Amino acid sequence: MNKRLFTSESVTKGHPDKVADRISDAILDAILLDDPYAHVAVETLVTTGLVLVSGEINTTTYVDIDSIVRKTVKSIGYTRGKYGFDADNLAVLTSISSQSEDIRIGVEKEDGNIGAGDQGLMFGFACNETKNYMPLPIFLAHELVKRLDCVREKKILPYLRPDGKAQVTLEYDKNDKPVRVEAVVLSSQHKDEITLEQIKRDLKKEVIDYVIPNNLLDKDSKIFINPTGKFTIGGPKGDTGLTGRKIIVDTYGGYSRHGGGAFSGKDPTKVDRSASYMARYLAKNIVASKIADKCEVQLAYVIGVEEPVSVRVDTFNTSKVKEEKIVDAIIKNIDLSPKGIINRFDLRKPIYENLSNYGHVGRTDLNVKWELLDIVAIFKDLS
């Protein structure tokens, strides 16, 4: 093929699934603030007028889940009954139990080490398409919804409401380089009285033109803004939201494989979360070392076992070094146990709520440690 198309999407803070993710991570942060060693797995469901929080928690502290839910919903922007989801008038239900004792004995070792909190496979990815080593389609999709949230919160476009989505389709050339935007889709919830013509004009100027580089747009690029013609019913009133339903938005926009495990609401002994961060860290440092143009790292774990049962590197035929050699360097130099990952990235701190939007990887804006480029030399020395 001389060219190919690839599409990724992202969503705003007010998307119902992201409301659920943010509530779960806000509860996790509140617990870790006072009890860094708590075991937490919190799931949230949101729908019209209702938030249901369920899951398993073992902790020495107490948090007021009702207050956390209302504060989080208010911070997103759902503050009016007209939205069908109002922070001050929600029914907040909880169904929380203790973590299974059978799981706990596998995680908490008598010698102080930590076994994996579950079995599973995790992927991390990096490529040299952007400065933060993320695929360009998901990077642009995230930037669009960030800007959409920004123009709403700063009242640049005061008629917008919290729910919204973006989708970007890029054309790649025969050398697998992104060359142009094939299509952009941008949808935003809005007040009822605003015309579609005004919304199209404003979102094109204040969001799309602000984010998408001019050199990627041409006369054949397709732009769709609120393509149904109306988007006044949104958020949890328009669609039930669930924690963990936007795992592709949270990672690489479908550009890389995904192991299936969600992140939000889980403490770092859950390798679904922590090992995915480690896999991203390894892939990013490998690409930054310039021994490969793109890299995917897979880690796999067994519940209760400290070390991964497999480490795999795929550079998609772009590596200057044998992949087996890269794997050996990882195993020799990096502690891949849950305890090693937690300590390296300082994961017992309340850092998670801000990760619930715009992706958990590529987040150089949050100074998270799995985005550091501090082991580049390990891989550069292999070449």
**157-203: per-residue pLDDT in tens?**
999 999 999 999 999 999 999 999 999 999 999 999 999 999 999 99
pLDDT at 125: 98
pLDDT at 109: 66
- pLDDT-derived band at 381, boundaries 50, 70, 90: confident
Average pLDDT, rounded, for the chain = 95
Structure tokens at 330: 């990882």
Structural domains of the chain ordered from first start: 4-11+136-233 (3.30.300.10), 120-128+271-380 (3.30.300.10)
The Cβ of residue 115 has, within 10 Å, a number of other Cβ atoms equal to 24
> How far from chain centre, in Å, is Cα 241?
16
Is there a contact between 128 and 278 (Cβ–Cβ < 8 Å)?
A: no
| Three-class HEC string of 93-135 | EEEEECCCHHHHHHHECCCCCECECCCEEEEEEEECCCCCCCC
pLDDT at 110: 65
| pLDDT reading at 289 higher than 80 | yes
Amino acid at 174: K
Interatomic CA distance for residues 123 and 126, integer angstroms: 10
- pTM attached to this predicted model: 0.96
User: pLDDT tens digits for 50-66?
Assistant: 999 999 999 999 999 99
Is there a contact between 364 and 132 (Cβ–Cβ < 8 Å)?
A: yes
| pLDDT reading at 85 higher than 60 | yes
Strands 294-301 and 241-242: unpaired
| pLDDT reading at 297 higher than 90 | yes
Angle of helix 65-76 versus helix 16-34 axis, rounded to 10: 130
